[in-house]
Amino acid sequence: MASFTPYTYFQCPCTDTLIASLPFGAEAPPPESENDEDERTFDPRAPRANYSLYPLEHLLYCEDCHQIRCPRCVLDEIVTWYCPNCLFEVPSSTVKSEGNRCTRSCFQCPICISPLSVSSVEAPPEGLGAEYTSQSGPYVLNCSFCNWSSKEIGIVLEKPNSVFQQLSKIRNKGQPAANAKEARKDSVARTLDISTQVIMEEGGDEDAEEVVLNPETQFANLKSFYLTQLAETSPTGALGFTGDYGYGSPGALSRIMGLYTGVSFSDKKSKSKTGTMREACDALEGFQASRPSSEKAISRLRKEGWHSTASAEQMAEQTHDAQFVSELWPVANMLRMKRSKRCKTCRHILSKPESKISTTKFRIRLVALNYIPSISIKPLQPPSSSNPAGLLTPLNPTQFVLTFKNPLFDGVKVSIATPASTPGRFSSRVTVLCPQFEVGANTDVWDEALREEGGRGGDREKRRTKAEASEGQHQAEAGKVWERGRNWVSVVVEVVPTSLRIEGPAFLRSEAQQKDDGPLREDEDVLEIPVFVRVEWETVAQDESAGLAAKEKEVKEKRELAYWCVLGIGRIAQT
Amino acid sequence: MSSSKRASTMPAAPKPPTSLSSTLVIADNAALTGTHLITLGSNTVVHPRTKLSSAFAPIKIGSSCIISERSAIGLQSAPAEDEKDGVVFENGVIVEVGAVVEAKRIGEGSVIEVNAKIGKGVVIGKHCKIGSMCEVADGEVIPDFTVIYSNGLRRIDASGIENLKLKMVGRQVDVLRKLIPTNLAKFQ
Ligand SMILES: [Zn+2]
Ligand SMILES: [Zn+2]
Ligand SMILES: [Zn+2]
Ligand SMILES: [Zn+2]
């Protein structure tokens, strides 16, 4: 079994105040009648806990609300779009009109997803002055990893740049790619236009059901169809936006949600106005009957075998249907974005990256790591050679050292509380030997060194080390801090792991075990301790309105932060 | 470091019988060991610290091959009855750094990439590519144009640019000829 690494997860307090993040118009949940928040013990195994526990590194901190912020209680804002391959910034207007793929020359291999490079089919020129002559086409896209070449599917390019345009031209057999912007301009006229083109392409085939649209045209048709549908069914959107603009508006979105879920998201007034929308029903409107595996495909499969079919992963990457490897096209690189994060409550920015693509720096980044004490776990006795995996022996008291490290420039008072026994079917007994202690400020490292020299502040430390030396073996004492440093404090927690076997008469079992005596579930053998941490400290008030006078007086302000943590201590041995 | 120094003070191990082309580029500290015949073709490049061992069976390498550093060519254990011919490379084969090749035959223009392992008795077709870290099990027969990549995925390369690639191998040899000082006499 792989060795177990102790972990600490923090619960963002936003899970307790759900009301704040409910959408407008939704009814407030019934008040919790059972027990008060203070009495409730957080259960890390509860299904809901999955969504509220984060490693400290994933959390942000709002300086205005003085609160931890997790991905659920921040708002994301897009700063820039860019292509991860060519690192070009893509303006948002282009993203809206052209989609979320790089429209330059960045493609990934349809077989193995590694980046494709453009190379000439011809051998490079040789002889005198060869380095001065430029390579000439035709060009192909090559994968250096799996040796795929666009030549395999018959794609040869005329020039080595703007591959995206060339490819879409090849795909649309000479027509320029359907531009969504144009399509929007006058959707009806364009739909008719495309349909006539398509019919002409098919050799004047009158049967509309036989028309096979290429994916871009189909998308354009579908989009324009639904845009007109939206415009017709709701002359004015729920929030007063009309047709075109309303497509992405909250009113239209909630109506679409309503259409599919049958639940009214918008208010009743607008619902009564909404007419019924119909679906696309012919190629003109972008409807394409899915082609069931035809005779042709089956005979091809017979001839070429399983290896000629595309894998599920390969098909998922494609923007259109592809059954066979030969139908796979190079995939344009997906754009990435830089995002800034705002506090959902006070709208202050918590994280803002530099907008320049090539820099990875942040302008603002308020990470929780700089505000709340980190907790690290270490067994007091090093794992013995007889038990290298460090498994916890059931019913054998084991001690762990919890080290709290303070990132703040002020000393903090920490109180920790744990339930006497861990929640769940297999509850172990937990005792924190020192539940209240103070952690020093995160001062300059040199301060401490200088103090040591003076021999004044370093007293405590020295005494401790002396005591250790005289006692020989250090014993964990109740109510005493185990070890202390400049900005960290270690305390000892003792656990008595429970047995993972459900045995004995039913009346001896715990309530949870009586209810459920099934076999051990995945990770149920991990001993997790919920810990309630309360951090208190005093800091200089940052109230700007107080002005100069306050600054001179250095008004101290009391701060308090309380949250649940989960300590993953170790696995209990299965006997 | 120290071990290699010590080895140099020892009396040199008996040289294996060789048949080397006059246009061969072979680095001074390439290691040719064994008792069977080692044949190296014309315009082939053997990088420094390459280990060719004919201890159990002969090695025959065609022309315009590139054998890179720290690669090991040749059988590492006694051959089975049908592997007595040893290791045979056709022309234009590239063996990259750290690859271990015990194959029976490697076809023209095939590339064995970094740290790949080719088992005993393997027959690799023409213009194949065995990706880095990929392994080919003992006795496998790999058809022409096979590409083995990622964690053993296979496909057939139908790009049809093998002639271009062979040409590029020739050019690579030309460049390496200028870079690697050859010491043919040492191995003859
Ligand atoms: Zn949160
Ligand atoms: Zn790009
Ligand atoms: Zn590829
Ligand atoms: Zn805030």
Contacts of B157 in chain A (CB under 8 A): 147-149
pLDDT at res. A117: 93
Q: Quote the CA–CA distance of A535 and A412 in Å, as a whole number.
A: 6
Asked if A112 is an interface residue toward chain B (Cβ–Cβ < 8 A), one would say yes
Q: How many CB atoms lie within 10 A of CB A512?
A: 13
Does the pLDDT of residue B151 top 50, yes or no?
yes
- From the CA of A542, how far away is ligand 4's center (Å)? 15
- Tell whether A309 lies on the interface with B, counting CB pairs under 8 A: no
Asked if A307's CB is within 8 angstroms of B156's CB, the reply is yes
Among A136-145, A280-289, A519-528, B122-131, the minimum mean pLDDT is found in: A280-289
Same domain for A435 and A544: yes
Instruction: Report DSSP letters for A188-233, one per residue.
Output: HHHHHHHHHHHHHHTTS---GGG----HHHHHHHHHHHHHHHHHHH
**Distance of CA A77 to CAs A342, A356, A359, B84, Å?**
8, 16, 18, 68
Kindly state whether residue A386 falls inside one of the protein's structural domains: yes
Does B167 contact A152 at a Cβ distance shorter than 8 Å? no
Q: Which residues of chain A have a CB within 8 Å of the CB of B131?
A: 145-146
Output the pTM of the full model: 0.69
Same domain, A453 and A518: yes
C-beta atoms of B149 and A149 within 8 A = no
The length of chain B is: 188
Which DSSP symbol is given to A509?
A: S
Per the structure block, which two tokens stand in for A248? 């992405």
- Interchain CB distance below 8 Å, B161 and A121: yes
So what's the pLDDT on residue A141? 92
pLDDT above 80: residue A464: no
Same domain? For A465 and A402 the reply is yes
In terms of average pLDDT, the best of A144-148, A249-253, A272-276, B96-100 is: B96-100
pLDDT at A550: 47
Statement to judge: residues A255 and A391 lie in one domain: no
Mean pLDDT of chain B: 90
Is residue A550 located within the same domain as residue A441?
Answer: yes
pLDDT of res. A18 = 45
Please give the average per-residue pLDDT across A448-453, as a whole number: 63
Residue numbers of B between 109 and 148 with CB closer than 8 Å to A: 129, 131, 147
Mean pLDDT of A233-244: 50
Ion ligand 4 neighbours, Cβ < 5 Å: A 62, 64-65, 343, 345-346
Residue in chain B lying closest to A311 (CA): B153
Residues, CB within 5 angstroms of ligand 3 (ion):
A 109, 111-112, 143, 145-146, 148
Q: How many CA atoms lie within 13 A of A52 on its CB side?
A: 21
Which residue in B has a C-alpha nearest to residue A150's C-alpha? Answer: B159
Instruction: State how far the Cα of A92 lies from the Cα of A96, in Å rounded to an integer.
Output: 6
Q: Which residue of B has its CA nearest to A113?
A: B150
Do A299 and A433 share a domain, yes or no? no
Test A148 with B156 for CB contact under 8 angstroms: no
Q: What is the pLDDT of residue A135?
A: 65
Summarize pLDDT for B95-115 with one digit per residue, the tens: 999 999 999 999 999 999 999
Sign of the four-CA dihedral A240, A243, A249, A254:
positive
Smallest Cα–Cα separation from A432: which of A416, A452, A454? Answer: A416
Q: Does A125 reside within a domain? A: no
Cα dist. B182→A152, B22, B27, B185 in Å? 40, 11, 5, 9
Residues A522 and A414 placed together within one structural domain of the fold: yes
Is the per-residue pLDDT at A268 higher than 90?
Answer: no
Element (H, E) at A429: strand A429-432
Are residues A559 and A436 part of one domain?
A: yes
Give residue B67's pLDDT: 96
In this structure, of A32-36, A159-163, B36-40, the range with the lowest mean pLDDT score is A32-36
Instruction: Evaluate whether residue A16 is within a structural domain.
Output: yes
Residue A266 has pLDDT above 60, yes or no: no
Give me the pLDDT at residue A284, please: 80
Which of A49, A67, A50, A69 has its CA nearest to residue A59? A69
Of B155, B159, B167, the CB nearest to A151: B159
Q: What percent of chain A has pLDDT over 70?
A: 69
Q: What local confidence, expressed as pLDDT, does residue A496 receive? A: 92
Q: Is residue B167 packed enough to be buried (19+ CB in 10 Å), middle (13-18) or exposed (0-12)?
A: middle
Does residue A378 share a domain with residue A523? Answer: yes
Taking the mean position of all CA atoms in its chain, how far away is CA B134? 16
Domain limits at A281?
A: 187-199+210-265+275-326
Does residue A501 form part of some domain?
yes
Minimal C-alpha gap between A485 and chain B (Å): 45
Q: With 60 as the cut, is the pLDDT of residue A442 above it? A: yes
A120 pLDDT above the threshold of 50: yes
**Of A308, A303, A312, A311, whose CA–CA distance to A324 is shortest?**
A308
Give the C-alpha separation, A226 to A231, whole Å.
Answer: 8
Provide the shortest C-alpha distance from residue A212 to chain B (in Å): 28
User: What is the overall mean pLDDT for chain A?
Assistant: 77
Lowest-confidence segment of A362-371, A403-412, B75-84 by average pLDDT: B75-84
Between chains, do B157 and A151 touch, taking CB under 8 Å as contact? no
The DSSP output letter for A367 is B
C-alpha dihedral, B87 to B112 to A147 to A327, nearest 10°: 60
Give the Å distance between the CA of A377 and the centre of ligand 1: 24
Q: What end-to-end distance do the CA atoms of chain A give, in Å?
A: 15
Residue A119 CA to ligand 2 centre (angstroms): 17
Would an 8 Å CB–CB cutoff place B172 in contact with chain A?
Answer: no
The verdict on A397 and A543 lying in the same domain is: yes
- Ligand 3 center–CA B150 separation, angstroms: 10
Nearest C-alpha in B relative to A142: B159
On whether the CB atoms of residues A82 and A357 are closer than 8 A, the answer is: yes
> Which of B89, B108, B105, B104 has the alpha carbon at shortest distance from B169?
B108
Sheet-wide strand order for A362-365: A89-90, A74-82, A336-343, A349-353, A362-365
pLDDT band (50, 70, 90) for residue A404: very high
What pLDDT, on the 0 to 100 scale, is given for residue A151? 87
pLDDT in tens, A197-211: 544 444 444 444 456
pLDDT of B36 strictly over 60? yes
The shortest CB-CB distance from B149 to any of A146, A151, A152 is to A146
CA distance A148 to chain B (A): 6
Task: Write out pLDDT tens, residues B55-99.
Answer: 999 999 999 999 999 999 999 998 888 888 899 999 999 999 999
Is it the case that residue A239 has pLDDT exceeding 70?
Answer: no
Residue of A nearest to B168 (CA): A123
Alpha carbon of A205 to those of A196, A200, B91: distances in Å?
11, 7, 55
How many helices (H) and strands (E) chain A has is answered by: 14, 22
Count the helix, strand and coil residues of chain A and give each as a percent rounded to the nearest 5: 30, 25, 45
User: What is the H or E stretch that residue B112 is in?
Assistant: strand B111-112
Rounded to whole angstroms, the Cα distance separating B6 from A514 reads: 73
- In this structure, of A91-105, A227-241, A273-287, A371-385, the range with the lowest mean pLDDT score is A227-241
Residue A148 maps to a domain: no
A191 against A254, higher pLDDT: A254
CATH number, span B18-181: 2.160.10.10
Q: Do B150 and A112 touch (CB under 8 A)?
A: yes
Are B147 and A146 inside 8 Å of each other by CB?
yes
Q: Hey, what are A394's tokens? A: 């059931």
Tell how far the Cα of A143 is from the centroid of ligand 3, in angstroms.
5
B62, B91 contact by CB (below 8 A): yes
In single-letter form, the type of residue at position A536 comes to E
> Cβ separation of B159 and A147 shorter than 8 Å?
yes
Does position A236 have pLDDT exceeding 90, yes or no?
no
The CA distance from A228 to A221, in Å, is 11
Higher pLDDT, A235 or A502: A502
Residue A543: the pLDDT is 56
pLDDT at A299: 87
Asked if B86 and B107 touch (Cβ cutoff 8 Å), the reply is: no
Please compute the mean of the pLDDT values over residues A229-243 and round it to a whole number: 58
Range A169-176 contact pairs with CB under 8 angstroms and sequence separation of 24 or more: A171/A214, A171/A216, A171/A329, A172/A214, A172/A216, A172/A217, A173/A201, A173/A214
Q: What is the pLDDT of residue B69?
A: 95
Phi, psi (deg, nearest 5) at residue B108: -55, 135
Continuous segment of H or E residues that includes residue A141: strand A139-143
For the segment A380-402, the average pLDDT, to the nearest whole number, is 81
Distance CA A54, CA B95 (A): 48
| Number of folded domains that form chain A | 2
In sequence order, what are the beta bridge partners of A540?
A556
Contact B159 A149 (CB under 8 A): yes
pLDDT bucket at B164, cuts 50 / 70 / 90 = confident
